[in-house]
Amino acid sequence: MQDGRTTLSKFLIDTLDRRPSPHAGAGLSALLIDVAAAIKQIASALTRGALGGHHGSTQTFNATGDEQKKLDVVTHEIFVQHCEWDGLLAAMVSEEMDGVYAIPAGYPRGEYLLAFDPLDGSSNIDVNGVVGSIFSVLRRPDGDDADAACGDAAFLRPGHQQVAAGYAIYGPSTMLVLSVGNGTHAFTLERDVGNFVLTHTDIRIPEDSGEFAINASNERFWEPPVRRYVQECKDGRIGCRERDFNMRWIASMVAEVHRILMRGGVFLYPRDFRTSGLEGRLRLLYEANPMSFLVEQAGGLSITGRERVLDVVPRALHCRVPVILGSRNEVERIGRYHREHDRGEDKPYTSPLFNERSLFLPEASA
């Protein structure tokens, strides 16, 4: 580009079209441009806020039982309209739709599959908080024709098979964070021009961090290894970690993952005794998998507690999975706590108020 800036199109042409990878075939860059167009339209709709006439609930529930906001439905339709016509997709799965959406007759069917959450963190809409969109791209299974790719089985593959993943964050600025398997990169929307411009190349998540994010109101439903980790963070300097931690909770996975990509930290939506099968809250296909792909591409880790999220084989389109992701050393520690617990090796928790660094000891209180 003449002004030295890299737009999303230039990035994709340089990265994918001029250096085709064995995993991603022709057309992936065009598909991602269509996804970006959907994101720009969603950004524009969200900016209008209550003036857009789309605030409030539809009084309906999606496939996983969440109450649908009007904007969940509107943003779902924007994704479908921008991506169904181009001949690059065989089918789509959306959080807001029960089954697979096969590309309708009348449009050619292509070699990719798109799974998306069109509006993540939609409970933040009514309070003008940060929300996002998340997407994951798979290639149609080898040997399948375009019609076979429209069944559930085509989507029920582990996340390490993704050829691209990303999210949009609609905050003070709109950003698109993307990976096509060569690092994680972020583009900022230049709203008056309508271009996504590369602003963060090859993001690296710091290996250590003093920040964790979890919905602490669920503590009574967590397993012991997660309770242990969080308690140790809360104990801070006087506990076994010997440092103070900060806690954050924005109730939008996009916002939490974005913060972790920018400055490190760990995000937990762990196994939870409220959910059948103890799967936690997050959906594998269009929340956990794309975010785990982005985090791993940025040098972080993403586990369920006991295995890598990207190796989990989905049981169903909308299945849920526990997610613990972020700074490598913290996630490794939490994984170790799970292993120690499963082997019966974790010690009962002792409050630091009663150990050698206790606040009640003369040198600490002096």
* Minimum separation from the CB atom of position 61 to ligand F6P (A): 13
Tell me which of 34, 84, 95, 330 is the catalytic residue.
Answer: 95
With contacts defined by CB under 6 A, how many residues of the chain interact with ligand F6P? 9
Is 253 near ligand F6P (CB under 6 A)?
A: yes
Is the Cβ of residue 167 or residue 337 nearer to ligand F6P in the bound state?
167
Nearer to ligand F6P, 135 or 269 (CB): 269
Q: Is 119 a catalytic residue?
A: yes
Residue with tokens 């809250």: 281
Closest distance of CB 254 from ligand F6P, Å: 6
Nearer to ligand F6P, 11 or 293 (CB): 293
At residue 16, the 3 state secondary structure works out as: helix
Chain-centroid distance, C-alpha 61? 22
**CB-wise, 121 or 352, nearer to ligand F6P?**
121
**Cα 253 from Cα 250, distance rounded (Å):** 8
Q: Using the rule CB under 6 A, which residue among 251, 262, 278, 361 binds ligand F6P?
A: 251
Residue 163 or 255 with smaller CB distance to ligand F6P = 255
Residues 6+ apart with CB under 8 A from 119: 42, 69, 71, 72, 75, 76, 125, 131, 132, 133
Task: Give the x-and-dash track for 187-206 against ligand F6P (CB under 6 A).
Answer: --------------------
76-81 — which CB contacts under 8 Å span 24+ positions? 76/118, 76/119, 78/38, 78/41, 78/42, 78/45, 78/118, 79/35, 79/38, 79/114, 79/116, 79/118, 79/133, 79/135, 81/38
In one-letter notation, the amino acid at residue 18 is R
Known catalytic residue at 88: no
Which of 140, 281, 318, 320 touches ligand F6P (CB under 6 A)?
281
Ramachandran assignment for 87, one of left (phi > 0), alpha (psi -120 to 50 degrees), beta (any other): left
* Exposure of 309 in the CB half-sphere (CA atoms within 13 A): 36
CA within 13 Å, CB half, 39: 35
Q: How far is the CB of 319 from ligand F6P (least distance, A)?
A: 14
Instruction: For ligand F6P, give the closer residue by CB, 96 or 120.
Output: 120
Provide the minimum distance between the beta carbon of 4 and ligand F6P in the complex, in angstroms, as a whole number: 36
**What is the smallest separation between the CB atom of 1 and ligand F6P, expressed in angstroms?**
34
Can 95 be counted among the known catalytic residues? yes
Give the shortest CB-323-to-ligand F6P separation in angstroms: 9
Looking at the Cβ atoms of 218 and 358, the one nearer to ligand F6P is 218
As given in the structure block, the two tokens for residue 74 are 């509107």
Considering the complex, state which of residue 120 and residue 330 has its C-beta at the smaller distance from ligand F6P. 120
**What is the sign, positive or negative, of the torsion defined by CA atoms of 36, 65, 140, 277?**
positive
Tokens of 188: 């900022």
Q: Which residue is nearest to ligand F6P (CB)?
A: 253
Binding to ligand F6P (CB under 6 A) within 112-131 occurs at 120-121
Catalytic residue among 34, 84, 111, 117: 117
Specify the 3-state DSSP secondary structure of 166: strand
Task: Mark whether 152 is an active-site residue.
Answer: no
Number of C-beta neighbours around residue 64 at 10 A? 14
The region of 51-59, 97-105, 237-245, 247-255 touching ligand F6P under the rule CB under 6 A is: 247-255
- Choosing from 16, 89, 119, 310, which is the catalytic residue? 119
Taking a C-beta distance cutoff of 8 angstroms, is the pair 291, 299 a contact? no
| Region of 52-60, 226-234, 245-253, 345-353 interacting with ligand F6P (CB under 6 A) | 245-253
**Catalytic (active site) residue 207:** no
Buried b or exposed e, range 93-118, using 16+ CB within 10 angstroms: bbbbbeebbbbeeeeebbbbbbbbbb
- Does residue 252 interact with ligand F6P by CB under 6 A? yes
DSSP 245: -
Catalytic residue status for 72: yes
Enumerate binding residues for ligand F6P (CB under 6 A). 120-121, 215, 251-253, 269, 281-282
Catalytic residues: 66, 72, 95-96, 117, 119-120, 287
